[in-house]
Amino acid sequence: MKQRQLAKVLGALAAATALALTAPGCAYAAEGVLIVNGQEYEDPSGCFAIDWFPSSVTNHTDAIAEVHSGPGCAGPVEWLVYPGETYYTETAQSVFIL
């Protein structure tokens, strides 16, 4: 009986968490500056194109930037650029940061 109640409570908590994370109006942007090939993006959020090679991605935000092999942040993640790091690439085509 107790296991069944625990399962219901955990299920309700999981559903509430999922709803809170997907609710409209819950916008989040990284705080700081993302630099892609010298172009600075303040408090960035979303996908940014890498338009020439070799390229660099410098992350001065509080979030992790995903460097993708394909355009539009598609394809496999080539590298994760942690806050304070710079990544150099000759193959990636886009960067995603939340």
pLDDT in tens, 27-69: 678 999 999 999 999 999 999 999 999 999 999 999 999 999 9
Q: Would you place residue 98 in the very low, low, confident or very high pLDDT band (cuts 50, 70, 90)?
A: confident
CA–CA distance, 68 with 62 (Å, rounded to integer)? 19
Question: Following DSSP, what letter does each residue of 24-49 receive, concatenated?
Answer: TT-----SEEEEETTEEEES--EEEE
